[in-house]
Amino acid sequence: MKLFLCSYRTAGLGLRLSIRAAPVDYYDVGKNGPFENGRRFHRIQTIRSVTEEISVSQRILSISGLRGVVGDGLDPEYIVRFAAAFGTLLEGGRIVLSRDGRATGELIRDAVVSALQSTGCEVIDAGIASTPTCGVLVKHHQANGGLQVTASHNPIQWNRLKPFTKEGSVFDRNTGDRFLEVLNKGEFNYKDWSGIGKVTFLPDSWKPHLDKILSLVDVELIRSRKFKVVLDCNHGSGAILGPLLLEELGCEVHLIGGTADGQFEHTPEPTEENCRSVGQKIVSAGAAVGFVQDPDADRLAIIDEAGRYIGEELTLALCVDHVLATRKGPVVVNGSTSRVTADIAEKHGCPFSRSYVGEANVVAHMREVRAVIGGEGNGGLIDPEIGWVRDSFLAMAYVLEHLAKTDTSLSEWVAQLPSYAIIKDKIECVPEAVPVAAAALQRAFEDARVTEGDGLRLDWEKSWVQVRASNTEPIMRIIAEAPSTNEAEQIIRQSRAAIEAVLR
């Protein structure tokens, strides 16, 4: 067995632990924490303290897919097993395959194609395309499912396989559990020479997605405004469809990172810190708005005409405000999303509810209540009219349509919305530390209304704080929102102090 030497530092706690371990699977089991239904986060050694992060070469495996560092846990052999399990689960048939522009994407694509063909699947290779485009293509080509190769906002050394159902949505829990059962059993439906599937290369894979977006907005009205727009694709897959969409809408596009090669110009997550240079370019270009996509283009951050970072949280809020003006119905967001969306739904007289964090949970709840719009506060808009997947392109089109209809600036529109300050913090730790942190937080804020299940959320009349384990990284997220930045920062400081006191 090959061994790897690795180490991990716990931020803010001054702790470091180095171990030797083989690659292991890190099971993200979702809403009920690390011990749901007898499964747990598998680690090589016993954890002596909740503050000691066991860092090993690892794969993060969950119902929403497989991710890891290529060459350090995410290897071709396991990729083949994953894809073979996917082909076996779907009993062959047509599968859409696409990828973002990372250098490792082609390697993973080759391993996936081999496994899918071997299980009798017909592979529709869409080449480099965004995650929402993959979801659209699954429905458009009446495929049995889809696989997107992308690590989203993770650093360049990471990659991922994200599976889709025949509805073009991420796996729900039942489908995900069945998939993991097939993968763990390892009994794959390999075909003989006569049953091997074929591969079809799809030209202009972006077109069905573009056509669907254009059908939902007033194209001529947007064109009449001739908006100047700065678009930062950051060398991700958004560079394929993003400029084409904006040009179709009559925009003068100032493009940043317009080659989909995965060579990121800045840290890939579209946070305020990572988008500062974009704001300067918006002002110098005299643009009406700036859009910043993450590498697989399912999330969108927005910057106004003055170069101010509007952020990811308001992406969903702005789109909800625009859509509910003409299309009434329920709205669904996750438990970590700003309350401004709840206020907007109330303004429009529409029902509002929250799901657990995670795209699969949001989609499942949207289906349950027949929501007309929903999403997550990470810049992820979900509109069933396009598909059951987060979509940055549709968000751009909705924002431009609203600006065209109302003849207002983006900053003026934002000023009309309820104002809150939301702060997102994190502590690197093992998943087993989260229940300990949650209990400490509850003791520190005994006057709050308690919601358990997806970590812990504490609510007051106009503010809240949540602590939960990340679905995608070995970290604990702490999110607080209040009417002012000072109040939100105070909640974060008190929360960190309470948590760090028990994790020392």
- Residue 57: predicted pLDDT: 52
DSSP annotation of 20: E
**Which pLDDT value is given to residue 484?**
94
Domain segments of the chain as ranges: 62-205, 208-415, 421-503
Active site residues per annotation: 152
Domain spanning 421-503: CATH superfamily:
Alpha-D-phosphohexomutase, C-terminal domain (3.30.310.50)
Tens of pLDDT, residues 60-89: 888 788 989 998 889 999 999 999 999 999
Of 186, 231, 189, residue with least CA distance to 393: 231
pLDDT at 13 over 80: no
Q: State whether CATH 3.60.70.12 applies to domain 62-205.
A: no
Pair type for strands 300-303 and 289-293: antiparallel
Tell me what the mean pLDDT of segment 162-185 comes to: 94
Q: 410, 479, 168, 172: which is closest to 298 by C-alpha? A: 168
Amino acid 429: pLDDT: 83
Pick from 414, 391, 387: nearest CA to 402: 414
Whether 26 shows a pLDDT value over 80: the answer reads no
Give me the count of residues in the chain: 504
Fill in the amino acid letter for 261: D
The residue among 127, 132, 192 whose CA lies nearest residue 164 is 132
Mean of per-residue pLDDT scores for the chain: 87
**CATH number for the domain running over 208-415:** 3.40.120.10
Which of the pair, 42 or 114, is modelled with greater confidence? 114
Distance of alpha carbon 64 from alpha carbon 363, whole angstroms: 12
Strand partners, 332: 353, 374
Same fold flag, 62-205 and 208-415: yes
Residue 21 pLDDT level (bands cut at 50, 70, 90): very low
Instruction: Return phi, psi of residue 188, to 5°.
Output: -95, 150
Backbone φ, ψ for residue 372 (5° rounding): -90, -20
Question: What type of residue sits at position 19?
Answer: I
Instruction: Calculate what percentage of the chain has a pLDDT beyond 90.
Output: 75
Share of the chain above pLDDT 70, in %: 88
Q: What residues contact 231, with CB distance under 8 A and at least 6 apart?
A: 238, 242, 243, 246, 253, 254, 255, 256, 258, 290, 291, 293, 396
- One DSSP character per residue, 125-189 reads EEEE--HHHHHHHHHHTT-SEEEEE--TTS-TTEEEEEEE-TTSSB--HHHHHHHHHHHHHT---
Q: Is the pLDDT reported for residue 128 higher than 80?
A: yes
Q: Both tokens of residue 498?
A: 């309470």
The pLDDT, as a whole number, for residue 58 is 66
